[in-house]
Amino acid sequence: MLLIFPPVAKPCEPPAGVALLSAALKEQGLACEVVDANVEGLLYLIQSDIIPTDSWSKRALKNREQILSDLKNPDLYTNMDRYHQRVYDLNKLLSMSVDTKRFKISLSDYSDARLSSVNSTDLLKSALHYRENPFYPFFEAGLRQKVLASASPFIGISLCYLNQALVSFALAGWIRDNFTDKRLVLGGGLVSSWMSRPDYNDPFKDLIDLSIPGEGEQPLLELLGRKNISKRHYVPDYDFVKPDLYLAPGKILPFRASIGCYWSKCNFCPEKAETRAYSSQRASKVVADLTAIDEQYAPDFVHLIDNAVTPAFLKALSTHQFGFKWYGFVRFEREFLDPAFCHGLKQSGCDMLKLGLESGDQSVLDQMNKGTDLNFVSTILKNLHQAGILTFVYLLFGTGYEDEAAAFRTLDYVKAHQDYIDYLNLSVFNLPKFSADAENLETQEFYHGDLSLYLNFTHPLGWDRRRVKHFIDKTVKKQMRVGSAVRKNPAFFSSNHAAFFKLKETITS
């Protein structure tokens, strides 16, 4: 089977989903080839015949190869200003590679002025008029021979992010029009979210032969004649990863130790509305799998992509040392209250942890059912900092539980702990369309489209979206810029590159 991961996603690491699918198929003796058309397609556009229009684009074009080389060099990640110059220059070239009157493209985003990613009619138009898509020349130059060479009648498209939707359907239309003997299978995180809607009616049935929600390993195996395979966890197959291709200072490999979220109680979380079943393996088995990846692929970094890494797995990690560094998302759990535990994680290779604080107001956290104690958070942030582990803290403003006073308490909390926070991610709350909270609020459409997943709403405390955005832009960002120890997030790549900028000085216990 041929599995394709289409543009546009951050081109710094290979996709995990297709690697897991490939592992499942190969374990059952089925041939599988994976193509990361995202990184290959973006590089195709960046390296195309771009006509400079100003001094910026002329400079960027002149230094194009050096920029690509620098983003793969660890030395660049010692100077944030120089890093940003390189990233913005590269993004300038990418943006100029398309018709800028119609398309907007960046290293992390894609949109079309004529078509909406949340409208099934527009997605089908993208398939029908695939020649208009800016990646169409790449389909012909970079994918045609691979499709022709595949002996399997099935082609899988992994659609995980909204930024991939229009390109994914253009790709599907191109395959359908040019390879009439092929059958199309569509899966991935975004497809799962669409299919979880209670009103989903399969608008793509005339284009897509099979759409798969959730984990695709078992359905694909059944499609290919391997019945009754109940296994859910695989060691990802990264044989498709080409050396020196991704825009990162080393080889990054994503790894998933669990499916879903072990907490799964946060009222604001969109995955709770999708009722995704949680599944995990024993910590000892996960460590063994990571050891196998270390031995087979020798990654420089492993990105743990679990919704939240479990305390049991973290304990197992803290007693092992690998040949790679690692980072991932965790909750503010009690285990981090122990400084020795934090130092053990650092010794195991942990360079950064992403932590969803969401709010610095305890009442808001309690109403969210977040399960976070701010007294614990204070100690945890300090312990991680003392251990030399970078912290990337996520804040979520504008939930139905927060008012302006609570938002200011969050700002005060962050300012009081800024010496122990390395990066901040500031987000405005989007209400999941089919969540329990949506039933009790006056709502309006956020995006007009039959596949939209979020709603706007009349805030019960008057803390509306416009005021929230103004507060973030004019108050939070302004105050955090003045004398703040919090770093500027890496442009476009955000947390995917943040771990590579080390602490300014070595911290000892």
205 and 348 inside one domain: no
Q: In this structure, are strands 252-255 and 110-112 parallel, antiparallel, or unpaired?
A: unpaired
Q: 71, 90 in Cβ contact below 8 A? A: yes
Last residue of a domain, one of 223, 241, 266: 223
Dist CA 414 CA 475 (whole Å)? 13
Both 180 and 259 in one domain: the answer is no
| Distances in whole angstroms, Cα of residue 373 to Cα of each of 209, 332, 410 | 48, 8, 13
List residues bridging with 390 in a β-sheet: 352
- Distance, CA of 284 to CA of 58 (rounded, Å): 53
338: Cα within 13 Å, side-chain hemisphere: 11
CATH of the domain at 458: 3.80.30.20
Which pLDDT does position 266 carry in this prediction? 84
316 shares a domain with 400: yes
If asked whether residues 332 and 453 sit together in one domain, one would say: yes
Whether residues 212 and 256 share a domain: the answer is: no
Tell whether 443 and 333 lie within a shared domain.
Answer: yes
pLDDT at 276: 61
Pick the closest to residue 500 from 321, 250, 290, 255 (CA basis): 250
Task: Please give the single-letter amino acid code of residue 374.
Answer: L
Q: Check residue 233 and give its pLDDT.
A: 87
Residues 211 and 258 in one domain: no
Residue 299: inside a domain, yes or no?
A: yes
504: in domain: no
Residue 296 shares a structural domain with residue 397: yes
Q: Are residues 219 and 355 in the same domain?
A: no
Q: Kindly give the residue spans of alpha helices, DSSP state H, lying in 237-323.
A: 270-273, 283-297, 311-318
- With CA atoms as reference, report the closest residue to 42 among 3, 11, 78: 11
Same-domain check for residues 33 and 153 = yes
With respect to residue 297, please indicate whether it lies within any of the assigned structural domains. Answer: yes
The tokens for 60 are 């960027």
pLDDT for the residue numbered 263: 83
The whole-number pLDDT of residue 504 equals 55
Domain assignment present for residue 284? The answer is yes
Return the number of other C-beta atoms located less than 10 Å from residue 395's C-beta.
20
87 in a structural domain:
no
* Residue range of the domain that includes 406: 252-498
Same domain, residue pair 341 and 380:
yes
What's the distance, CA 41 to chain centroid? 18
How far, in Å, CA of 84 to CA of 423, rounded?
Answer: 16
92 belongs to a structural domain:
no
Number of Cβ within a 10 Å radius of residue 43: 18
What is the number of domains present in the chain? 2
Alpha carbon distance 167, 419 (integer Å): 42
Could you tell me the two tokens for 438? 């949506």
Residue 36 makes CB contacts below 8 A (sequence gap 6+) with 5, 14, 15, 18, 240, 241, 245
User: How far is 117 from 449, CA to CA, in rounded Å?
Assistant: 8
Per-residue pLDDT at 505: 46
Q: What is the pLDDT along the chain (509 residues), one digit of tens a residue?
A: 999 999 999 999 999 999 999 999 999 999 999 999 999 999 999 999 999 999 999 999 999 999 999 999 999 999 999 999 999 999 999 999 999 999 999 999 999 999 999 999 999 999 999 999 999 999 999 999 999 999 999 999 999 999 999 999 999 999 999 999 999 999 999 999 999 999 999 999 999 999 999 999 999 999 999 998 888 889 999 999 998 999 999 999 999 998 888 888 888 777 665 556 788 888 899 999 999 999 999 999 999 999 999 999 999 999 999 999 999 999 999 999 999 999 999 999 999 999 999 999 999 999 999 999 999 999 999 999 999 999 999 999 999 999 999 999 999 999 999 999 999 999 999 999 888 788 888 998 878 899 999 999 999 999 999 999 999 999 999 998 766 778 999 999 999 999 999 865 444 43
**DSSP single-letter state for residue 487:** B
pLDDT attached to residue 448:
83
